[in-house]
């Protein structure tokens, strides 16, 4: 098996600079969309339909679908619940279909559609994602969902953790500056991830909204073996 | 004096997400445009006219202007010289006006035009730029020229060095994830910058073109006190 390449794209607004065809795109939105999706499948959810706009989510709601939605951390009235992973881990969601719309994550997932495979990743399924990618022949692009198209420290940090695992233990190589930068950031942060979280602008955003109960959960690696995949408008495992 | 903010924009393609009005924008293209511009003024050049396109550069050439130009490291036929800082440090350029067009840097400089002040920065004038920014009341946006709109490790690294200096010794603050990431990268790299340079994709690009004689020069801090400023189409000191 030849060496597969790793690229890291730090914002969906730069994704057009990469060619995802024939590759695996790994979508990352640590706070909180991709963590929530991984948690959902670990708790028996059947499928998640990501939608970018609220109007589309509302229409699904009118048809009786369960709706999870959030903009800037706030749940809109028409949604059944917001963006916290804890919402997706409740009793009664086994075998459920959930329609999901968020500020950054769900848009990034849809953007990755031209890839051969779209993988939903977060710290909670880090090793499972690395193992999954190692088994495939595909080159990898890690796409950070970011914050309104800006650089997001926690997403890039995760990109570094995943890239380091792929380079160290599997047949991967990289000549991508963003990947090398992300690995250095991960190398600085890993020594004390819970202290490092104070650097994330998003930690402070969540704290202001009293939504920061999820931070520790979102930064704890390997809580599930689920590897959700997005294809043809739906996320399943 | 209140605290001034620092933001770091890792690619010109994300610059529209920031509001430069009333602020100082610091443009960085370590390999090689902004290093060359700083070197030029240190050696007595009078003004530099950055132009994005070759056609415009060629027209200036027809009018008798000195032309420096480069695409992907290669000097076009019509240019008097390419993108190496050493070209800008020669005898005979005292009081010269040079028209300059490069792959990434000159476009980034023009993009910064709506700012209150556009500062040309590189390792070779690092401390001079920090001192200049410290004397002003303006918030700062550091704009990395990147590589064809992708993340560039050496530009972001410099952003970290500058941000760290502003936060440590002057009245600045930041809540920008990209700034904090850049500082961590700088903190990793500073221990041995000459060894760290092997991580830059651009070092390898320059090496292939046998243009890597400039790498050491471009990474050596504080060789000049010149702080070139861009205004109304011209760079001067």
Cβ atoms B47, B235 nearer than 8 A? yes
Evaluate the CA torsion angle B112, B115, B116, B121 in order and state its sign: negative
Sort out which chain B residues have CB atoms less than 8 A from A202's CB and list them.
Answer: 177
Residue holding tokens 């704890």?
A220
- Other CB atoms within 10 A of residue B216 CB: 11
The phi and psi torsions of B79 (rounded to 5 degrees) equal -85, 150
| pLDDT tens for each residue of B154-203 | 999 999 999 999 999 889 999 999 999 999 999 999 999 989 988 888 88
Judged by phi (left if over 0) then psi (alpha if -120 to 50, else beta), residue A105 lies in alpha
Q: Tokens representing A178?
A: 């963003």
| pLDDT tens for each residue of A192-206 | 998 998 888 888 888
Question: In this complex, which of B13, B178, B199 lies closest to A180 when CB atoms are compared?
Answer: B199
| pLDDT tens for each residue of B90-125 | 988 999 999 999 988 889 999 999 999 999 999 999
What pTM did the predictor assign? 0.93
Q: Quick check: A181 and B11 CB within 8 A?
A: no
Mean pLDDT of B134-149: 96
Assembly ipTM: 0.89
Dist CA A22 CA B153 (whole Å): 27
Q: Quick check: B188 and A189 CB within 8 A?
A: no
Q: Quick check: A201 and B175 CB within 8 A?
A: yes
Question: In this complex, which of A10, A149, A188 lies closest to B188 when CB atoms are compared?
Answer: A188
A1 pLDDT tier (thresholds 50, 70, 90): low
Question: In this complex, which of B13, B149, B156 lies closest to A181 when CB atoms are compared?
Answer: B156
Edge to edge, what strands does the sheet with B172-173 contain? B66-69, B97-101, B47-50, B234-236, B229-231, B117-121, B24-28, B140-144, B4-9, B172-173
pLDDT at residue number A24? 98
Fold entry, domain A4-32+104-236: putative 2-phosphosulfolactate phosphatase (3.90.1560)
Fold entry, domain B4-230: putative 2-phosphosulfolactate phosphatase (3.90.1560)
Q: What is the maximum alpha-carbon separation in chain B?
A: 51
Sort out which chain A residues have CB atoms less than 8 A from B19's CB and list them.
Answer: none
B204 pLDDT tier (thresholds 50, 70, 90): confident
């Amino acid at each position: 098996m030849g060496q597969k390449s790793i690229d890291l794209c730090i914002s969906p607004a730069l994704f057009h600079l990469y060619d995802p065809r024939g590759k695996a795109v790994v979508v990352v939105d640590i706070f909180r969309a991709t963590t929530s999706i991984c948690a959902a499948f670990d708790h028996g959810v059947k499928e998640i339909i990501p939608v970018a706009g609220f109007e589309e989510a509302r229409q699904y709601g009118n048809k009786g679908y369960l709706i999870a939605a959030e903009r800037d951390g706030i749940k809109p009235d028409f949604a059944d619940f917001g963006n916290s992973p804890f919402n997706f881990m409740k009793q009664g969601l086994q075998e459920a279909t959930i329609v999901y719309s968020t500020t950054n994550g769900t848009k990034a997932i849809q953007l990755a559609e031209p890839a051969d495979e779209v993988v939903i990743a977060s710290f909670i399924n880090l090793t499972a994602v690395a193992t999954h990618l190692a088994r495939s022949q595909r080159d990898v692009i890690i796409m950070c969902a970011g914050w309104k198209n800006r650089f997001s420290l926690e997403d890039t940090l995760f990109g570094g953790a995943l890239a380091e695992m792929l380079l160290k233990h599997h047949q991967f190589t990289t000549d991508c500056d963003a990947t090398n930068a992300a690995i250095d950031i991960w190398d600085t942060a890993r020594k004390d991830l819970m202290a490092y979280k104070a650097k994330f602008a998003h930690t402070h955003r969540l704290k202001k909204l009293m939504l920061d109960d999820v931070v520790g959960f979102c930064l704890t690696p390997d809580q599930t073996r689920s590897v959700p995949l997005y294809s043809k408008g739906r996320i399943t495992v």
